[in-house]
Amino acid sequence: MLRRKITDYLTQWKATKQKECLLIRGARQIGKTFIIEDFAKNNYDNFVEINFEQQPVLKTAFDGELTVPEMIKRITIHLPAARFVPGRTLVFFDEIQSCPQARTSLKFWAIDNQYDVVASGSLLGVNYNAISSFPVGYERQVDMYSLDFEEFLWALGISDDIIASLKEHFDGRTPVDGSIHAKMMEYLREYMVVGGMPEVVNKFLTSHNYGIVHQEQEKILSAYLNDIAKYAAPADRAKARNCFLSVPRQLAKENTKFQYSVVERNGTARKFVSSLDWLRDAGIVNYCRNLSTLQFPLAAYVRDEQFRIYMSDIGLLVAMYGFEMKAALMEDTLNGPAKGGIYENLFADFLMKKRLPLYYYKKDDSSVEIEFVLTSGTSPLPVEIKSKNGRTLSLNTVLTWQGISFGYKFGNCNVGIDGNKISMPLYLAMFL
């Protein structure tokens, strides 16, 4: 079984919650249901699971009075084997976006406080208008993603001690042993082509076959397209599909800023922005916003009209380029803008799964371009990504500006320090 960090979060929630339900948000097929079922098996005597897509008849249990006794009556008329024992039962509402009244009911389960309640949803962001009343103050929300790189290393059997020793190099800014560095770069390339979708990772672990991995990724991509066709508003379906399919082309340009003309000739924001928002709300892509200036706080200087789009799982992006891309990345023979875009998405994958906001810096009238901007205390922290060793002209320029203490170059390099520029191998980004 894959070890996941969200399990620790569930354990902490159970120990500290006070009249609140837990809502786990995330894209389809990232392992939400499996993790919650396993958590219930190991922590509760009784488990009541309702999947509103598999059991749509159970939506009627939330049509009337939303007191807990009345809801239990209506649930058990359809699930007579369900047992609700106070203090010993976990109630799980899966795909809760399909039953807005069940989302409203979380407030009353929390107030009653006799049963632990966890809900999850894959498309929670796309149907919020259907909910009559949000359970504000009674619902703790957490975003879940596919496996991050550290979880991928766990799946490969890499021990916590080895990972801790790598963190010492990140913290101490000391070079990694050459043989270890080479092996970690190999693992990183595997992560790029496999990604973190649990079923894909399991197929990789059991078969060691990249062809089988690619087939599984294609199934997930097809499922995403089916979700667009099924759940997006009719006016957005074709546009959302075209925006989704344009992501590999967007990232293969010299300038990876999202351009509507790549989706459709003469395309405009007015036509496509709601479709992009749908993809973001479904957890399929994430925005990286441009900044008008490098000053703290970064959120105050966002240019909403300029952004980049990154896939939420690096392996799915690579699969969208076709199977041949896997060999090119594993053998490190790929060159050109597409490689740079993939490595940007890899770094975005690290940041997203750390729940860090995504920003970049690019002035229209300047050649200075910083792929990602973080913060260190109250100072902007510029980060340049290099898919191969090369000069960092933009980072060198920015590091002379007032208010910038230091910056990172992440790439296919070892740890090094040059003035206030710190070079790091990309795999150490898991410790940001």
Q: pLDDT tens for residues 184-213?
A: 999 999 999 999 999 999 999 999 999 999
Return mean pLDDT, the chain.
Answer: 94
pLDDT tens per residue, range 353-406: 999 999 999 988 888 999 999 999 999 999 999 987 778 999 999 999 999 999
Averaged over 162-182, what is the pLDDT?
Answer: 98
Contact 66, 105 (CB under 8 A): yes
Domains in the chain: ranges and CATH: 6-143 (3.40.50.300), 149-431 (no CATH)
Q: What's residue 128's pLDDT?
A: 47
pLDDT tens per residue, range 88-136: 999 999 999 999 999 999 999 999 999 999 999 887 655 544 555 567 7
- Is the whole model's pTM more than 0.85, yes or no? yes
Averaged over 127-152, what is the pLDDT?
Answer: 81
Contact 425, 185 (CB under 8 A): yes
Averaged over 145-166, what is the pLDDT?
Answer: 98
Greater model confidence, 336 or 50: 50
Which of 132-136, 202-206, 276-280, 347-351 shows the lowest mean pLDDT across its residues?
A: 132-136
* Cα–Cα distance measured from residue 416 to residue 422, given in angstroms and rounded to the nearest whole number: 6
Q: What's residue 134's pLDDT?
A: 65
Q: What's residue 131's pLDDT?
A: 55
Is a pLDDT exceeding 70 seen at residue 49?
A: yes
Question: Strand 359-362 and strand 285-291: pairing?
Answer: parallel
Averaged over 161-188, what is the pLDDT?
Answer: 98
Is a pLDDT exceeding 80 seen at residue 9?
A: yes
- Please report, for residues 27, 157, 367, 369, the alpha-carbon distance to residue 355 in angstroms, rounded to integers and kept in the order given: 15, 25, 29, 23
Q: What's residue 125's pLDDT?
A: 59
Q: What's residue 132's pLDDT?
A: 53
pLDDT tens per residue, range 283-330: 999 999 999 999 999 999 999 999 999 999 999 999 999 999 999 999
Q: Report the 3 state secondary structure along the chain.
A: CCCCCHHHHHHHHHHHCCCCEEEEECCCCCCHHHHHHHHHHHHCCEEEEEECCCCHHHHHHHCCCCCHHHHHHHHHCCCCCCCCCCCCEEEEEECHHHCHHHHHHHHHHHHHCCCEEEEEECCHHHCHHHCCCCCCCCEEEEECCCCCHHHHHHHHCCCHHHHHHHHHHHHHCCCCCHHHHHHHHHHHHHHHHHCCCHHHHHHHHHHCCHHHHHHHHHHHHHHHHHHHHHHCCCCCHHHHHHHHHHHHHHHCCCCCCCCHHHHCCCCCHHHHHHHHHHHHHCCCEEEEEEECCCCCCHHHHEEEEEEEEEECCHHHHHHHCCCHHHHHHHCCCCCCHHHHHHHHHHHHHHHHHCCCCCEEEECCCCCCEECEEEEECCEEEEEEEECCCCCCHHHHHHCCCCCCCCEEEEECCCCEEECCEEEEEHHHHHHC
Averaged over 143-152, what is the pLDDT?
Answer: 97
Averaged over 240-248, what is the pLDDT?
Answer: 96
* Cα–Cα distance measured from residue 38 to residue 182, given in angstroms and rounded to the nearest whole number: 36
Averaged over 24-36, what is the pLDDT?
Answer: 95
Tokens of 168: 């010492």
Q: What's residue 129's pLDDT?
A: 47
- Please report, for residues 6, 103, 248, 371, 381, the alpha-carbon distance to residue 357 in angstroms, rounded to integers and kept in the order given: 19, 27, 21, 13, 13
* Cα–Cα distance measured from residue 209 to residue 331, given in angstroms and rounded to the nearest whole number: 16
Task: For the chain, give the percent of residues with pLDDT over 90.
Answer: 89
Q: What's residue 160's pLDDT?
A: 97
Q: What's residue 136's pLDDT?
A: 73
